[in-house]
């Protein structure tokens, strides 16, 4: 069964509550009027309160397992159930998809 595509306006948070911001690499393919998230995009985290004396706050999300059948602009699409890791000075845990569009699915 498929999962919904992530897009630039999706709400994704690091494990500590920081908000992920997507910078699209290829804004041509859209869902709900917003670019689809792909492996080529940049995923930065802002507002992570994780203390610097530990591993530091989360600064980016790295997606490890994208869609296997769907590409946009030659890049694999990120799905609602894609596996990722929030990263600071070290890996800090998986991001949480809070909200995304609910019309287009893929695998």
Would you give the DSSP letter of residue 51?
Answer: -
What residues does each domain of the chain span?
3-101
Q: Which pLDDT score is estimated for 20?
A: 97
Walking along the chain (107 residues) 10 residues at a time, the average pLDDT comes out as: 94 95 92 95 94 82 97 96 91 93 95
The pTM for the full model equals 0.90
- E-strand ranges in 27-77 read 30-31, 34-35, 42-46, 60-65, 71-72, 75-76
CATH classification (class only), 3-101: mainly beta
Q: Which pLDDT score is estimated for 43?
A: 98
């Amino acid at each position: 069964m498929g999962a919904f595509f992530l897009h630039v306006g999706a709400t994704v948070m690091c494990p500590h509550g920081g908000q992920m911001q997507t910078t699209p690499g290829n804004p041509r393919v859209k869902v709900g009027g917003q670019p689809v998230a792909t492996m080529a995009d940049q995923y930065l985290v802002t507002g992570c309160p994780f203390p610097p004396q530990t591993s530091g706050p989360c600064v980016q999300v790295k997606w490890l397992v994208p869609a296997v059948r769907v590409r946009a602009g030659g890049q694999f699409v990120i799905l609602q159930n894609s596996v990722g890791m929030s990263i600071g000075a070290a890996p800090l845990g998986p991001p949480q998809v809070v909200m995304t569009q609910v019309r287009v699915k893929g695998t």
